[in-house]
Structure 1
Amino acid sequence: MSNDLIQVLQNLGRPQVLVLGDLILDRYIWGDAERVSQEAPVILLQADRSETRLGGAANVAQLLRGLEAGVSLAGVTGDDLDGRELRSELEALDVNCDAVLVDDTRPTTVKERFIGRAQHRHPHQMLRVDREQRTALDAQRSETLLQTVLPLIEKHQVVLISDYAKGVCTPEIVQQIITHARQVGVPVIVDPRPGEDYSLYHGATAVTPNRLETTRATGINVQSSDDAFAAGRQLCEELDLKNAFVTLDSDGIAVVQANGDAELLPTRRREVYDITGAGDMVLATIGVAMADGVSLADTARLANIAGGLEVEQIGVVPITRDQMLGDLLTGPRKTYQKVCDLDELAQHVSARRQLKQKIVLTNGCFDLLHVGHVHYLQQAADEGDCLIVAVNSDASIRRLDKAPDRPLFPQQERATMLAALDAVDYVLVFDEETPHALLDRLRPDLLVKGGTYRRDEIVGWELVESYGGDVKPLSVIPGVSTTQIVERLRGQTILKRPAVSQAHAPERKAG
């Protein structure tokens, strides 16, 4: 699955996205929570810095830009300094703000968060102060907004509605946008407001409520995936939706279709520092993926990754495609997922190069995994960001004039043992007598070998250096080699056998 998702992410387009919703400016006050005030039983925050970030639909626009989509934004600000700052931040991100209107009867929505650090570390939100007006836009401003937004819809591949219940997403505005988008064949995806009445979203393509929002909207207490499926089917039927993406925090996303098909796409557990903006990140990712025609399952998987990375941040931080790619490549993987064929490995290497990672490769028979191997593989891993171990196949070992009973273990067992090591990122079994073909395909930055080798004795050195790569012998633990261990197991003394350097000769030939 991860390999397919890497390909999906690398091939993801850069659609034009129209975002409608409530624009919010987030302010953060950071400091050390030093002690309890003498004036009242409250924590005293010693402030040392402040910052401004985008929130609500403005944040969705920002996150879309981080995902490399083109963005037009529609909404309302107040005629105040906060509104001008918000617009300036958006324009700096190259967000089209032609449909952002100014309303001098209401303030720009501002959320001010106070973030305290305990003992100069471990920051946590202590208090949030909101300045806002939740009344709906009046008829005149609603009409002006609609006249501005409706002609923009057909110029975009998807419309996202980010409803924070601050007065912009009125039933009239939302319904006219959904109706017009349906007429011109543009999908509409809604991140709904908390509440029981979702009728204003009737006819949208999809909604993305979280667990609590789904419970309130359907009356179904969403505790399990089956609950989420039932609630999603109810939403699809009642609202004439094509899909419902019910986000289930650490359990992942339940994807439900209008025909009743449903699937839970799980996510991996993460360190959660701040859930702020996670829903916006999921909406933005789903929007980009659906606009590009990505399957529903892969859309949800990408949203899981983006949302998971978001909750690992303090405050709202745009998640990039490269961060998602890095998470796919370096996240926890089961042993069997490390063993791959050359085509799959080449794709992973290409993705890692996109992230400017240094690729290290070593190769050999690894017939009997021992402490010498573990020692030098850890050394090899320390030389770069990604370690590939290429293992001679059973047939190639036999062709290399090893003893008649070699290999001692079949290739799949040898590959599995190597893949179980934390230092190893990928294992590839190759059938040729030398690694030249895979070196030419993968072009690692560094080729290494453990043992008593000189640089020019490492098979493939001339090929690696011809394209600008490096070759490096690594240290060896004296008296420890596969040949010596096998001899001990056979009950023979090492003194009757060739010297260590000669004993390694066949392994040199194996590459």
Structure 2
Amino acid sequence: MLEWCRDREIWIVGDLMLDEYVRGSVDRISPEAPVPVVKVGDVHNRLGGAANVARQVAALGANAVLAGVVGDDEAGRWLLEECQRQGIDTRGVYVDNCRRTTRKLRVLGHSQQLVRLDWEDAGPCSDVVSAALHDRLAKGRMADAIILSDYAKGVLSDGSLSRLIGFAHTSGRRVIVDPKRYDLGAYRGASILTPNLNELARAAGRRLDPDDRDAIVAVALPIIQAAALEALVVTLSDRGMLLVQRDGESQHVPAVRRAVSDVTGAGDTAVAVLATALAAGSTLLQGMEIANTAAGLAVAEVGAVAVAPHQISSALSEAPRGKVVTREELAARAAGWRMAGKRVVFTNGCFDLLHAGHLSLLHQAAELGDVLVLAINSDASVRRLKGDSRPIVPAEDRAALLAALSCVDAVTIFEEDTPLETLRAARPHVLVKGQDYGIENVVGRDLVETDGGRVVLVPLMDAKSTTAIVERIRVGEAAVG
């Protein structure tokens, strides 16, 4: 997926900020007031707000095009110069000599924030400025996705939201919004909103418990429907993320436990990675898992940072998880493996009464790549294929046995007669079947080969099959009888 990010164009529209950091040591309290005295060690600046979102998009290798407003001042000039150093296209940035560049100065002692000072003009930008931002963006290549980074500093006015969301609808592009308004209906027509739990609770007018996912879904659904959204991705801090879709389906992705140094910019990282992954072709669940991982890495650093692709890939491949997964979970996990550069191998079957022939096939398959994914037929699917007397072992037990094998990295159960839809989710590099198949009869061959993969037929052990074992048992029972 990292390769696909490189030719994507992402527009980032929103409030631009300069984040300033003063770091030092604290060893005494001021005699003038009960406040700590910070002995300054270093001072440095970073891109903040929508500019930080753009920096993360650019770090993923996509073409980040930034639109917003800065003042005609030193802070604005530094911000534009730093964007250019980071490879961010600033054609959509408007220099307004009637506004100050938004600045946030944080003073830290021993890596702990002691105080923050803000300079800002938060009134809504005029329609003239909003129109100018849109016109400047439209002069270049069309975006693959549009991010609206709203910090309530005036860039995303009602007129600007209407213009940008309407344009995206006309162009068939997704709009992903990191919202700040109390009324989430203001983003009506956008594709996805990424509120944190506090923002969602504020919009709903009630407190929400991060562990009560049913309550979160119940609050999110009316907002999704009223605002004609595709979904909400609710960030839950150390609980991860919760995807709530228009049809009421929800999916939770837990956070990987990490030491938290600073939550500054975590939301920027999440929306940047989610939008870029979606533009690169990921599903919502895949994108959410990648974004969740990136945000977890971001909070381990002090200040707003851009997380490198190799960091995300490494974290995804190392995350401790169970092996028996749903199709959606498999899709997200497979995306992570591909990002980490791992070769994904796929095979499938009923695997009823695990025997030596099964083990031989699985070990041969595992040797063809780095990760082995196994899809097994559900009980109903087995009955349709083998008759009412099968399976002998229920699907959940078959999955548990197979997941216990060291050569298997993931097991999923499919309800259909063929694994085609599961193959679409896993998108393996190698599809393995036994040599009792003709290659022209392998389900999913065209899909895998079109995606650049290959089909491999491996030799089978003689006289090793579940059917033969069952028949020998029946013969033995008849003889005893």
TM-score, normalised via structure 2 length = 0.66
Distance 1:188 1:269 in 2: 30
2:147 alignment partner AA: L
Give 1:104 shift.
0.5
Greater shift after overlay, 135-144 or 44-53?
135-144
1:158 alignment partner AA: A
Aligned twin of 1:126: 114
Give 1:53 shift.
0.2
Distance 1:349 1:217 in 2: 37
Distance 1:298 1:349 in 2: 12
Distance 1:20 1:427 in 2: 44
Tell whether the 8 Å contact from 1:329 to 1:352 is kept in structure 2 after alignment: no
Aligned twin of 2:203: 217
Aligned twin of 2:249: 261
Structure 1 residues 143 and 353, CA gap change in structure 2 (3 angstroms): closer
Per-residue Cα deviation, 1:90-148 (whole angstroms, up to 9, x for no partner): 0111211111010001110000000101xxxxx11111100111111123323322332
Distance 2:339 2:124 in 1: 50
2:18 alignment partner AA: L
3-state SS in 1 of match to 2:103? strand
Per-residue Cα deviation, 1:447-505 (whole angstroms, up to 9, x for no partner): xxxxxxxxxxxxxxxxxxxxxxxxxxxxxxxxxxxxxxxxxxxxxxxxxxxxxxxxxxx
Aligned twin of 1:357: none
Residue of 164, 168, 172 corresponding to 1:185: 172
Structure 1 residues 197 and 352, CA gap change in structure 2 (3 angstroms): closer
Structure 1 residues 232 and 427, CA gap change in structure 2 (3 angstroms): closer
Residue of 151, 168, 175 corresponding to 2:162: 175
Gaps of 5+ in 2: 326-332, 344-369, 371-399, 410-481
Larger-Rg structure: 1
Tell whether the 8 Å contact from 1:236 to 1:244 is kept in structure 2 after alignment: yes
Residue of 51, 63, 66 corresponding to 2:44: 51
Distance 2:271 2:191 in 1: 13
Aligned twin of 2:262: 274
Give 1:255 shift.
0.9
2:316 alignment partner AA: L
Residue of 294, 316, 321 corresponding to 1:306: 294
Structure 1 residues 175 and 336, CA gap change in structure 2 (3 angstroms): closer
Give 1:217 shift.
1.2
Give 1:196 shift.
2.1
1:189 alignment partner AA: I
Tell whether the 8 Å contact from 2:6 to 2:60 is kept in structure 1 after alignment: no
Give 1:334 shift.
6.5
Residue of 73, 78, 83 corresponding to 1:85: 78
1:72 alignment partner AA: V
Structure 1 residues 72 and 335, CA gap change in structure 2 (3 angstroms): closer
Per-residue Cα deviation, 1:132-181 (whole angstroms, up to 9, x for no partner): 111111233233223323455x6110000000011110010111110011
Tell whether the 8 Å contact from 2:92 to 2:134 is kept in structure 1 after alignment: no
Please show how residues 454-469 of structure 1 align to structure 2 within 5 Å: none
Give 1:85 shift.
0.3
Distance 1:65 1:243 in 2: 25
Distance 1:288 1:61 in 2: 11
Residue of 300, 303, 326 corresponding to 1:315: 303
Distance 1:294 1:161 in 2: 19
Residue of 60, 70, 93 corresponding to 2:63: 70
Q: Structure 1 residue 95 and structure 2 residue 88: aligned? A: yes
Aligned twin of 2:133: 145
1:183 alignment partner AA: T
Structure 1 residues 332 and 39, CA gap change in structure 2 (3 angstroms): same
Distance 2:7 2:26 in 1: 43
Distance 2:4 2:125 in 1: 40
Structure 1 residues 109 and 186, CA gap change in structure 2 (3 angstroms): same
Give 1:231 shift.
2.3
Please show how residues 448-487 of structure 1 align to structure 2 within 5 Å: none
Q: Structure 1 residue 233 and structure 2 residue 238: aligned? A: no
Structure 1 residues 287 and 427, CA gap change in structure 2 (3 angstroms): closer
Aligned twin of 1:403: none
Distance 1:262 1:351 in 2: 27
Using the aligned pairs only, state the percent identity: 34
3-state SS in 1 of match to 2:44? strand
Residue of 152, 156, 177 corresponding to 1:165: 152
Tell whether the 8 Å contact from 2:15 to 2:49 is kept in structure 1 after alignment: yes
Distance 2:259 2:75 in 1: 33
2:184 alignment partner AA: Y
Residue of 11, 16, 41 corresponding to 1:18: 11
2:91 alignment partner AA: D
Distance 1:349 1:51 in 2: 36
Aligned twin of 2:284: 296
Structure 1 residues 282 and 350, CA gap change in structure 2 (3 angstroms): closer
Aligned twin of 1:30: 23
1:129 alignment partner AA: L
2:191 alignment partner AA: T
3-state SS in 1 of match to 2:290? helix
Structure 1 residues 84 and 12, CA gap change in structure 2 (3 angstroms): closer
User: In the comparison of the two structures, how many residue pairs are matched?
Assistant: 343
3-state SS in 2 of match to 1:155? coil
3-state SS in 2 of match to 1:76? strand
Give 1:186 shift.
1.0
Aligned twin of 1:156: 143
Per-residue Cα deviation, 1:215-246 (whole angstroms, up to 9, x for no partner): 11122432121122122212211110111111
Distance 2:144 2:214 in 1: 32
Aligned twin of 1:468: none
Give 1:267 shift.
1.9
Aligned twin of 1:324: 312
Q: CA RMSD in A?
A: 2.9
Tell whether the 8 Å contact from 2:147 to 2:275 is kept in structure 1 after alignment: yes
2:245 alignment partner AA: Q
Distance 2:320 2:106 in 1: 33
Tell whether the 8 Å contact from 2:26 to 2:36 is kept in structure 1 after alignment: yes
Distance 2:342 2:277 in 1: 23
Tell whether the 8 Å contact from 1:218 to 1:234 is kept in structure 2 after alignment: no
Aligned twin of 1:200: 186
Structure 1 residues 98 and 11, CA gap change in structure 2 (3 angstroms): closer
1:180 alignment partner AA: F
Per-residue Cα deviation, 1:324-365 (whole angstroms, up to 9, x for no partner): 11112334466999xxxxxx99x97994799xxxxxxxxxxx
Tell whether the 8 Å contact from 1:22 to 1:76 is kept in structure 2 after alignment: yes
